[in-house]
Structure 1
Amino acid sequence: MELLSDCRNFIRGRKDMSEQRVKRDPEGTRRRILEAATEQFTKFGLAGARVDAIASAAGTNERMLYYYFTSKEGLYVAVLEAMYAQFAEREAKLDLSGMPPADAIRELARSIWTHLRDNPQWLSLVNNENLHEGRYLERSSRLLEALSPVVELVRVTLERGTAAGQFRAGIDPLDFYVTLVGMGYYIVSNRYTIDAFTGRNYAEKPRQEAISAMHLDMLLAYLRPAS
């Protein structure tokens, strides 16, 4: 009985220490939970991810996870929000104002396509959410806020090109942005099935460079004014 009591006291002491650490560093705890959840959701999706595994990897307990995010689904939405915000923030910080409009489009496209290639977690999470038909992203009120600066960057660049006589007028900046992202996304997200179906591996750098150059030519050809 004494040994059992000692074990209980030890566990209780560890729990108290963990909660004290959480209270001292709430933002750090929240960040660690998000990082651990991103790993779990990437590997196992929403259905397969385990709350206890997330809490353990974050160095906290399930109670704190529910305290910060309410539910497993709430945590999943927070992971998606953080992922999209990071993606959009990176592009919105690009300084394209001093570049000729065509070069600015090239820089933006290359930046986005590189990010897609370098972040397989992003692709896995997006693909998983598409299996859910976007129903969890619909709960977020922050996504439009994250996307708006990037679309504004595209709008300003297109308008500069139109004013300089290099781009045709009337191009919807959101449609153009979605098209640009889609070009890079498809090649990365479907690289294994494309390889199996066609025998061409777009994960190889020469293939990446060749198809990126083709995509840029297509985008810029679309932007040119009618002769």
Structure 2
Amino acid sequence: MSLTHGGVPKVSAMKTRRAAPKIIARDPLATKARILDAATSEFASRGYDGARVDAVVKRARCNINLVYHYFGNKEKLFIAVMERAYGNIRAHHKDMELRHAEPEEAMRGLIVSTFRMFVNSPDAIGLLVSENIHRARHIKNSQLIVSMYDALLDFIRETLDRGAAKGVFRRGVDATDLFISINAEGYFYLSNRHTLGVILHQDFMTEERLHQRETFITEVIMGFLRP
């Protein structure tokens, strides 16, 4: 290093240090979640047959190799999407929170939470429509999904039994039929909201209209359950 007359080093002769490159740590959980979010939107909007893995990659802003690394293939990716969707649906039922409530309160809570689940999770409708077209071919391969509703049906049976014992519910109600009816009342309304809106000249997605439907469903089901 050369010095000036006063002992100050010449700037042109100094060695400059380059800043070390910033290392971005990989986050596998965040990447998988991003892929699942993108895949959920893709499968819900286009169905299993119409969905494309390259479209998922574009939505998720990731390398296509990561999709195959984490999920294997398109079918396994769809099953993972369905497992997460069913998990979210089950969380909305809130049956564990309602298990110790009075029978009427517990049943009303289940009806409302089921309807609001479909309102707040519109992708679930598209996914269920697609999987029914395929006759549940994919979810049959998920041990997680096939046993996911056992606890909910037990909750409905126990609630019906407690209500019948207290004289607030009629006896002999089948838990499976009741579960189907609770879901059907909200599912049909929301899955057909666009066509219903045209032929019935209403906007079925305003909060006022949603509340009206929620109240109607609750009263229909609870009216049926009364002895």
- Shorter-normalised TM-score: what interval? 0.7 to 0.9
1:135-169: per-residue Cα shift (whole Å, max 9, x none)? 22222221133222222222221121011111122
Q: Is the 8 A contact 1:77 1:140 kept in 2?
A: yes
With the length of structure 2 as denominator, give the TM-score of the two structures.
0.80
1:10 aligned residue = none
Aligned length: 205
2:46 is the counterpart of 1:39 = no
Q: Measure, in 2, the Cα distance between the counterparts of 1:164 and 1:135.
A: 42
1:156 aligned residue = 158
Identity of aligned residues (%): 32
Listed as ranges, the gaps of 5+ residues in structure 2 are: 1-22
Listed as ranges, the gaps of 5+ residues in structure 1 are: 1-16
2:140 aligned residue = 138
Shift of 1:181: 0.9
Q: Supply the AA of the counterpart residue of 1:165.
A: G
2:184 is the counterpart of 1:182 = yes
Q: Measure, in 2, the Cα distance between the counterparts of 1:56 and 1:94.
A: 38
* Greater share of helix: 1
2:89 is the counterpart of 1:79 = no
Aligned to 1:31, the other structure's residue is in SS state helix
Aligned to 2:98, the other structure's residue is in SS state coil
Q: Measure, in 2, the Cα distance between the counterparts of 1:29 and 1:70.
A: 15
Shift of 1:130: 2.2
Which residue, out of 195, 198, 201, partners 1:196?
198
Q: Supply the AA of the counterpart residue of 2:67.
A: L
With the length of structure 1 as denominator, give the TM-score of the two structures.
0.80
Q: Which has the larger radius of gyration?
A: 2
Q: Measure, in 1, the Cα distance between the counterparts of 2:215 and 2:58.
A: 45
1:210 aligned residue = 212
Question: Structure 1 stretch 123-132 or stretch 160-169: which is displaced more?
Answer: 123-132
Q: Is the 8 A contact 2:39 2:56 kept in 1?
A: yes
Aligned to 1:138, the other structure's residue is in SS state helix
1:168 aligned residue = 170
Structure-to-structure mapping, 1:13-28, within 5 angstroms: 21=26, 25-28=27-30
Shift of 1:44: 2.2
Aligned to 1:95, the other structure's residue is in SS state helix
Q: Is the 8 A contact 1:89 1:146 kept in 2?
A: no
Q: Measure, in 2, the Cα distance between the counterparts of 1:212 and 1:39.
A: 26
Aligned to 1:201, the other structure's residue is in SS state coil
Shift of 1:98: 4.5
Q: Measure, in 1, the Cα distance between the counterparts of 2:136 and 2:156.
A: 24
Q: Is the 8 A contact 2:156 2:175 kept in 1?
A: yes
Q: Measure, in 2, the Cα distance between the counterparts of 1:186 and 1:69.
A: 32
Q: Measure, in 2, the Cα distance between the counterparts of 1:63 and 1:125.
A: 24
